[in-house]
Structure 1
Amino acid sequence: MRFSKVSPIPRPVVGWLLYDIASSSYIFLIPSVAFAVYYRQVLCGGVAYCDAQWGLLTALALVVAGGLAPLVGAIADLGKVRHPLFVIATLGCCIASAALFWAQPGAVGWGGLAFVVAQVGYSLAMGLYDAYLPSLVPRQRLGQLSGLGWGLGYIGGLACFFIARPWLAGGLEADNLPIYRQTFLLVAVFYGIVALPALAWLPRQGGGHYGLSVSLVRRAYQQVFSTLGGWRDRPDIFQFLLGYYLISDGVFTVGSFTAIYLTTEFGLPMKTILQLTLLFNAIAIPATLTSGWLSRRWSALGLLKSALGIWIVTLLLLVFGTHPSIPLLAACGLGLVLGSTQSLCRGLFAELVPQEQAAELFGFNALVSKVSAMGGPLLFGLISATTGNQRLAMLSVMPFFLVGGWVLLRE
């Protein structure tokens, strides 16, 4: 975003941007690539039903996080305790990510529990983090700041990738597993350290009663149900949430299963998966930054419509393509739209929410994105496990983008 040369970027904005970098190390290496493959192939054993088991595990984490997000957001707004809750959720994710290091082959219970705790902590932290956005810059710059944060966030994933690449490149051979698992410790340390400026500089809310209490939780419950009951008063917000519900379902499913899909359908080794992941990030950074910059000059809804078109083409390539170049083309397509789609949606939603309900409504946004993402992974895992056909499972993701786009973009 553009700031005057004589006016330095405010520290809260710097901290907010750095947090996107910090958290991207987790989302890039734990649920999407390193731990997803490790869970399926090592903890679960690599058999056909492991797709369904991974789908159930990710769905469980999403349901827990999504169910808690609006309540936690309402508590943050009413009790003015957004910042301490943000710190607790961040530390919870870091500690649970580190615990994955001790998940030995076959330890499905331990690995699954640590992953669910880490995923819930991450999800709650991100909902509270996003709620800071409307208070940091003027309304006309929300899309630009969202795109900048999301684009820079890929740097966190790339930094961890370069550090962990020697450990991951050795693959899942038994003698390399202790080295491979060091990646999970790396993510925990990187996330915690780079997030420190955000934990120190993001603004505290004043004028509230700090500390949790039964009455505060009760008031938060009442606030959540009041918001739900008054959906007719804000149809624009609930139309957005319905469309985002479907789109985020597709986005999360593709993110959760692409590495597994390329391994099983195209026979790619871990080394090639990591190379494609590097390419994806190299494209995603400028693409997401550009989408944020363009959102101030063009229609953000128009940009989102173009992104959904690229999603459809990329999915068709994955489902029907058999040429060896398909994984390369898919990595390029996903790099163009995965971050751009989410940053555009975050900026659009930030324009709709009133600041006094930011944490609660971004909690509903988190609820929508997490609970909706339960359907896609479950559907993918069920189809893959029952038919043995992952291409058919990938095809099942298409309607989420088609219907979600229609709902979100219709006048």
Structure 2
Amino acid sequence: MDTTKRSSPPAPARRRAFGWPVYAWGLWDWGSAAFNAVITTFVFTVYITSDAFGPGADAKLGWALAAAGLLVAVLAPVLGQGADRSGRRTFWLGVNTAAVVVVSASLALVAPSPDYLWLGLVLLAAGNVFFELASVNYNAMLNTISTPATVGRVSGLGWGLGYIGGIVVLLIVYFGLINPEVGVFGITDADGMDVRITMLVCAAWTLLFSIPVLLTIRDDKSARTKTPRAGILDAYRLLFRSIRTLWGRDHHTVFFLGASAVFRDGLAGVFAFGGVIAAGSFGFDPGEVIIFGVAANVVAGLATIAFGVLDDRIGAKRVIVLALAAMIVAGTGVFFLYDYGATVFWVLGLVLCVFVGPAQSASRTFLARLIPAGQEGEIFGLYATTGRAVSFLAPAAFSTFIALGAALTGVADSDDVQHWGILGIVLVLAVGLALLLPVRSRTMPDSALVTTPAS
């Protein structure tokens, strides 16, 4: 297998594992978590599917997000390829991040009325598209701010800051605006103003913490190719040619893209349905769900940073395998120990969360070590596309196992067997693990294994 070292930027720019460029890069994760944690998870999606927006809002939300996923799947690899060819990753990160900020602020226009439902859904879908496209360029920067010996720690730092930053901003808006009857500046829930002002806070949060990376990691003009700009069809021809080249040079990269798409969907399912299971199966009230969510993200964030060190020591694949295996055991335990009540979910649910972040971070570093120099944006675009292509797996498996549980137990109300859904998520994780096991990882050269000083 080809283990040739990639050409790298001058040594002085990459000597220190945790210099300011690394922290500036990680702060983007901290800032953009406002979109993930507040807008798409705990606040705005709950708001837009409330009774104030009329019946069927939940289903319409699903269709809107599905359309967004399709756009990302189509656009991500081509736009990532364009950023590689133009040498303007930071520029396009800035453009897409600015779009996320504008969309986040525009969500403040969505009043609690059926007349505003589609405005809210279209804005939310657009925000998801711009966020995913920004993430392609953000992930592609990983190799420029790390070395093969530090890529795991750097990636883990970014993921960890994302989890913790999301919780900080969530706590700020929850206790400052959402929870009290009268929040800061006299804001109440009248006309949805608590949620709408929260959207402005999220926009400001994302903007503020995105500035450091845009000012610190500048585009390298020397990396720009002299190839004329390609049209959409030409870009796809180049893309398929790159896939064939990848397959011919190292088909394990292609295998990994497929395997990671499956297990990453399972990882997403843990957070997507964790709160649902906590409330529906274990009797958590809304306040307890929020408390569990805070604990889950803090645990995931700290574990991700810690496991980044392990990633650099034993390799990303071993971290992923360990994490997936532990999650399969914990998820199965949630199902079989269901009768023991909320304590089971607190313990095993947090065990699940311990390993979500490390698996996500190690997946990114595994791919970063495989990518040929100059193709980071294109391959991370494929990474986004493959993930979106199977994003139905965890939701479908969750619902299928609930239906199976109802059929096997003879229970008429599927809510009474909701805990069966965890087996569906476990199955997706297990399939992803099985697909990953045959994939060979790149062996790092001995010189890359020398520990570099951190600052």
TM-score, normalization: structure 1? 0.88
Please point out which of 64, 75, 79 is paired with 1:68: 75
Kept after mapping to 2: 8 A contact 1:101/1:182? yes
1:203 aligns with 2:218: yes
The residue type equivalent to 2:106 in the other structure is: A
What residue is the counterpart of 1:122 in the other structure? 131
After TM superposition, the structure 1 = structure 2 runs for residues 25-36 of structure 1, keeping only pairs within 5 Å, are 25-36=34-45
| RMSD across aligned positions (CA) | 3.1
Q: 198-207 or 127-136: which moved more?
A: 198-207
Q: 225-234 or 338-347: which moved more?
A: 225-234
Kept after mapping to 2: 8 A contact 1:251/1:338? yes
SS in 2 for 1:104: coil
What residue is the counterpart of 1:402 in the other structure? 430
Kept after mapping to 2: 8 A contact 1:314/1:330? yes
SS in 1 for 2:312: coil
1:92-139 deviation per Cα after TM superposition (whole angstroms, max 9, x unaligned): 112112222222333331221111011111111111100011121211
What residue is the counterpart of 1:369 in the other structure? 387
Please point out which of 174, 191, 197 is paired with 1:182: 197
Kept after mapping to 1: 8 A contact 2:335/2:420? yes
Q: Highest relative contact order (Cα 8 Å, sep 6+), 1 or 2?
A: 1
1:168 aligns with 2:184: no
1:236 aligns with 2:252: yes
SS in 2 for 1:376: helix
- Percent identical pairs in the alignment equals 25
CA distance in 2, matches of 1:275, 1:265: 17
Kept after mapping to 1: 8 A contact 2:86/2:225? yes
What residue is the counterpart of 1:391 in the other structure? 419
Kept after mapping to 1: 8 A contact 2:332/2:422? no
Q: Which runs of 5+ in 2 are unaligned?
A: 1-11, 182-187, 407-413, 440-455
Change (3 A) 1:58 1:254: farther
Question: Offset of 1:24 from its aligned partner?
Answer: 2.0
The residue type equivalent to 1:191 in the other structure is: T
What residue is the counterpart of 2:378 in the other structure? 360
Change (3 A) 1:214 1:344: closer
CA distance in 2, matches of 1:61, 1:7: 38
After TM superposition, the structure 1 = structure 2 runs for residues 192-341 of structure 1, keeping only pairs within 5 Å, are 192-207=207-222, 215=230, 217-233=232-248, 234-319=250-335, 321-322=338-339, 323-341=341-359
CA distance in 2, matches of 1:331, 1:41: 27
Please point out which of 103, 107, 123 is paired with 2:110: 103
Change (3 A) 1:338 1:7: closer
Q: Which runs of 5+ in 1 are unaligned?
A: none
Change (3 A) 1:382 1:35: farther
CA distance in 1, matches of 2:208, 2:419: 40
The residue type equivalent to 1:400 in the other structure is: V
1:344 aligns with 2:345: no
TM-score, normalization: structure 2? 0.80
1:318-352 deviation per Cα after TM superposition (whole angstroms, max 9, x unaligned): 54525122442354123301211100111111100
What residue is the counterpart of 1:159 in the other structure? 168
Q: How many residues align?
A: 404
SS in 1 for 2:168: helix
CA distance in 1, matches of 2:192, 2:53: 14
CA distance in 1, matches of 2:81, 2:241: 11
Kept after mapping to 2: 8 A contact 1:244/1:404? yes
Question: Offset of 1:287 from its aligned partner?
Answer: 0.7
The residue type equivalent to 1:371 in the other structure is: A
Change (3 A) 1:340 1:328: same
CA distance in 2, matches of 1:310, 1:114: 37
SS in 2 for 1:164: helix
Change (3 A) 1:74 1:247: same
CA distance in 2, matches of 1:213, 1:99: 36
CA distance in 2, matches of 1:58, 1:145: 30
Question: Offset of 1:246 from its aligned partner?
Answer: 0.3
Change (3 A) 1:261 1:95: farther
Rg (Cα) greater in structure:
2
CA distance in 2, matches of 1:17, 1:275: 25
Q: 31-40 or 383-392: which moved more?
A: 383-392
SS in 2 for 1:373: coil
